[in-house]
């Protein structure tokens, strides 16, 4: 197989991006810089309009460049004294405009520095708290179409957003994850560092959903090594690569191209059947496939009314027509069809 392709990487590789995170440091600096430039421009405009009341060290009148120079040295408190107000009007402008702007500029500089330091501290505290709270969560490697659909299914099943972590290199995907209220790790999921940043050692499941099969194999290998007890499910584009993913440690592999092809084949003769299958894949609406575990007292009460399709016993899947299904055993996992109609049952 070819090596994994390189995607546009985020500058903050390995950085944890939590939902509702404050504006980035870069955007904060740009806003503050624009305000500082605006203050300097205001002072330069005042000095230039009242240029008749100013003189430089040579006794000459000041021009536009001199006004800009005067503004920068004045509001930064450098004050070389080579350009000074000599008229009453110019001195009054200095008192009423230049001095307040100078004070505001200093507040802006000091405030920006303190805010950036405080933001870094808040970020560190949020990340530390997040790491401490993560347990039995699901890691989604790749937030493209497959990854986003997987997250939608998880949320429909009742998984909390706080229990889902996305890993992706693309800034657009990371922004989409944040917008969806999910924690995201910027990085390459084939590298152990990105998975460790997502607390894989405490994860209950890893969903491998990159755009390429070779990348999926590398992610699966790394995930299985770091989390031997987690459930690893992977998506493959080609059927020929399914065995590679299973050998790499995937518990389950979904083949997207062949599954789509089978649905296309079925749709030519039985389009309504495809509608039912798509309905089953849409969690929380229409028909759903649900699982119940059989306890010592038999099937749970909330399984009543569900239609038994198969059971899982000792890692074997027994269909509903298997004679062994007639007698349920403790530990069996019942796979059932459930209707989400309010008047069902």
In the listed set 89, 107, 132, which residue is the last one of a domain according to the structure?
132
Q: Which of 194, 203, 191, 197 is nearest to 227 (CA)?
A: 203
Residue 151 lies in a domain: yes
Residue 281 lies in a domain: no
Q: What are the φ/ψ torsions at residue 14 (nearest 5 degrees)?
A: 85, -5
Q: Do 140 and 173 reside in the same domain of the chain? A: yes
Q: Do 177 and 94 reside in the same domain of the chain? A: no
The secondary structure of residue 330, as a DSSP letter, is T
| Tokens 């305000």 found at | 35
Q: Do 116 and 169 reside in the same domain of the chain? A: no
Q: Do 154 and 56 reside in the same domain of the chain? A: no
CB atoms near residue 145 (< 10 Å): 11
pLDDT reported for residue 2: 40
Write out the chain's pLDDT in tens, 345 residues. Answer: 444 444 444 445 667 887 765 445 567 677 777 888 888 888 888 888 888 888 887 777 788 888 888 888 888 777 777 777 877 777 787 778 877 887 788 778 777 777 666 666 777 777 888 888 889 999 999 999 899 989 988 998 889 999 999 999 998 999 899 889 999 999 999 999 999 999 999 999 999 999 999 999 999 999 999 999 999 999 998 888 999 999 999 999 988 777 777 777 877 878 888 788 887 777 777 888 888 899 888 888 877 888 999 999 987 899 999 988 888 889 999 999 988 876 554
Residue 278 lies in a domain: no
Report angle CA 93, 99, 105 to the nearest 5 degrees: 130
Q: For the chain, what is the domain count?
A: 3
**Tokens matching residue 298:** 């038999």
In the listed set 132, 155, 179, which residue is the last one of a domain according to the structure?
132
Residue 299 lies in a domain: yes
Domain holding 294, by residue range, is 286-339
Q: Do 63 and 110 reside in the same domain of the chain? A: yes
Q: Do 108 and 148 reside in the same domain of the chain? A: no
Q: Do 119 and 159 reside in the same domain of the chain? A: no
Residue 4 lies in a domain: no
pLDDT reported for residue 71: 83
Residue 221 lies in a domain: yes
Residue 112 lies in a domain: yes
CATH number at residue 77: 1.10.287.70
pLDDT reported for residue 123: 72
Q: What is the DSSP string of 34-64?
A: HHHHHHHHHHHHHHHHTGGGEEETTSPPP-H
Residue 96 lies in a domain: yes
pTM here? 0.60
Q: Do 82 and 127 reside in the same domain of the chain? A: yes
Contacts of 82 (CB under 8 A, 6+ apart): 56, 57
pLDDT reported for residue 169: 92
Q: Do 253 and 142 reside in the same domain of the chain? A: yes
Q: What are the φ/ψ torsions at residue 207 (nearest 5 degrees)?
A: -100, 120
Q: Do 149 and 69 reside in the same domain of the chain? A: no
In the listed set 98, 132, 166, which residue is the last one of a domain according to the structure?
132
Q: Do 125 and 144 reside in the same domain of the chain? A: no
**From residue 4, how far is each of 214, 240, 286 by CA, in Å?**
6, 17, 39
Handedness of CA 244, 245, 251, 252 (dihedral sign): negative
Q: Do 139 and 254 reside in the same domain of the chain? A: yes
CATH number at residue 214: 3.40.50.720
């Amino acid at each position: 197989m070819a090596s994994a392709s390189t995607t546009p990487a985020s500058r903050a590789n390995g950085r944890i991006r939590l939902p509702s995170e404050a504006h980035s440091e870069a955007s904060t600096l740009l806003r503050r810089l624009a305000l500082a430039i605006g203050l300097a421009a205001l002072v330069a405009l005042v000095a230039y309009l009242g240029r008749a009341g100013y003189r430089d060290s040579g006794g000459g009148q000041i021009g536009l460049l001199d006004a800009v120079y005067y503004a920068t040295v004045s509001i930064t408190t450098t004050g070389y004294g080579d350009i000074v107000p000599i008229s009453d009007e110019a001195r009054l402008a200095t008192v009423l405009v230049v001095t307040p702007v100078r004070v505001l500029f200093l507040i802006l500089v000091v405030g920006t520095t303190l805010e950036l330091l405080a933001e870094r501290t808040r970020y560190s505290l949020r990340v530390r708290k997040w790491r401490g709270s993560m347990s039995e969560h699901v890691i989604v490697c790749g937030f493209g179409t497959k990854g986003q659909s997987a997250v939608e299914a998880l949320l429909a099943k009742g998984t909390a957003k706080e229990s889902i972590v996305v890993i992706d290199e693309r800034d657009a995907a990371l922004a989409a994850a944040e917008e969806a209220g999910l924690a995201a790790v910027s990085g390459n999921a084939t590298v152990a560092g990105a998975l460790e940043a997502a607390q894989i050692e405490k994860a209950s499941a890893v969903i491998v959903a990159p755009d390429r099969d070779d990348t999926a194999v590398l992610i699966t290998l790394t995930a299985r090594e770091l989390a031997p007890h987690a459930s690893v499910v992977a998506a493959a584009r080609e059927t020929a690569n399914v065995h590679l993913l299973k050998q790499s440690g995937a518990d389950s592999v979904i083949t997207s191209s062949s599954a789509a092809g089978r649905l296309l084949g079925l749709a030519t003769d039985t389009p309504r059947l495809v509608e039912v299958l798509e309905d089953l894949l849409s969690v929380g609406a229409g028909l759903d496939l649900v699982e119940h575990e059989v306890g010592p007292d038999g099937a749970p009460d909330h399984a009543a009314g569900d239609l038994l399709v198969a059971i899982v016993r000792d890692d074997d899947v027994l269909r509903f027509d298997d004679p062994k299904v007639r007698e349920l055993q403790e530990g069996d996992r019942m796979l059932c069809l459930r209707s989400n109609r309010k008047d069902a049952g």
